[in-house]
Amino acid sequence: MAVEHPANDSSRRRYQYIDKFLNRACPSTDPDFVPGAPTITNLETSKVLVIGAGGLGCEILKNLAMSGFRDIHVIDMDTIDVSNLNRQFLFRKDDVGMSKAEVAAASIMKRCKDVKITPFNGRIQDKDEDFYLQFKIIVCGLDSIEARRWINATLCSMVDMDNPESLKPLVDGGTEGFKGQARVIIPTLTSCIECQLDMHAPRAAVPLCTLATIPRQPEHCIEWAKIIAWEEHRKDTILDTDDPEHITWLYEKALNRAKEFNIPGVTYQTTQGVVKNIIPAIASTNAIIAAACCNEAFKLATSCNPTLTNYMMYTGDDSIYTYTFEHEQKPDCPVCGNLAKTITVNPNQTLQEFIQSLGERPEAQLKKPTLRTESTSLYFQSPPSLEEQTRPNLSKKLRELISDGEEVGVSDPAFIIDFKFKLVFQS
């Protein structure tokens, strides 16, 4: 039986199509679903955080506002560039140089008077657990694997089994050209982003000799600035691909390198794309993936239908194709599991070579790892005194430093968690 919402009719007129779902039960609704006023009120008061206000984030903000959410927060550290205007529809030419989060919030509130959007201009890593605990649902529209891994680890670490309110569902969307995915993560209970990391293989590396001596493409100049120039001039500073000052420095170095070899095409946007491994976005893909993400957020807030279990992939390059499957939780996941991940290694490989491989392995993707066993410090990236003390180990073979099957603890400044790997020697 349908139950009408008691609020003023004019305040619900915009959402009358949504109320058709919320005012009645159906065979697939959750057993605890209560049609009518309680569910509508719950939707309106659900505090949602949107991470990212770029191409995907703009679509997500618009969809959430039009779906009945009235308390939305958005965080993004970027400013608007003229290149954003072709697909990030909440921005105009006069907004160039301004905060994406602030302009997006103002643009949505101008059109949806009954929706409050609170913008934050900054990095997600600068917010503490108390900040994230205030939200009911978190929706990601990020273009960075590192940022996804960070928020995933943070939400998992927040979970307190004695406090149900500490469990914050994460809806994550991502696009790459004509491809995209949407996934629902219930921290510690379902497969998390770290469990699925091997589905996001790192970009194939360019030989260092090419970067150092005979660059042929603008991407080679940018990789040279990132790998060689940064290590030479700013070794003690951790490269933050979300920091505009760091990107500008790399761009200027790459541009000078390109001029030296008469290579055109190095721009700030290209530099940002190479450093952050950004594939050009397509507006229609963003719209499809954002719709899928907001549909899941709506179901999480209202229990009107079962949520996605738990991964949806989309491709539109040849034709329109979607596929949904349940990605299983991994017991050796460093974030939501409790076992060490087994890695098969060559015992004659040097520690330096193994460290380099951690950045290339799809299941690791660690840039500046510090390694230690239960009894020995293998290599420290910092502070300088410990780096100097453990540096001689880099040239030693793994069989000289560890035993077959021994566990190695790995930490990386980009992540808040430690990783455990069980190194098994090749026979």
Q: Provide the token pair at 400.
A: 């000289």
CA nearest neighbour of 305 among 42, 60, 27, 36: 27
CA nearest neighbour of 151 among 167, 140, 135, 166: 140
The answer to whether residues 238 and 230 touch, using CB atoms and an 8 Å cutoff, is no
- Pairwise CA distance, residues 352 & 365, whole Å: 15
Q: Give the helix/strand (H/E) hosting 355.
A: helix 351-360
156 carries an active-site annotation? no
Q: What are phi and psi of 411, to 5 degrees?
A: -125, 155
Distances (CA, A) of 352 to 304, 364, 383, 390: 53, 16, 18, 11
- Any idea which residue has 């009358």 for tokens? 16
DSSP 8-class letter at 155: H
SS3 343: strand
- The one-letter code for the residue type at 300 is L
Q: What are phi and psi of 15, to 5 degrees?
A: -110, 20
- Pairwise CA distance, residues 218 & 222, whole Å: 6
Q: Provide the token pair at 144.
A: 């960075």
Q: Provide the token pair at 216.
A: 């042929």
Catalytic residue among 112, 209, 293, 336: 209
DSSP 8-class letter at 280: P
Neighbours of 57 (CB within 10 A): 29
Q: What is the largest CA-CA distance in the chain?
A: 75
SS3 176: strand
Q: Give the helix/strand (H/E) hosting 36.
A: none
SS3 371: strand
Catalytic residues: 209
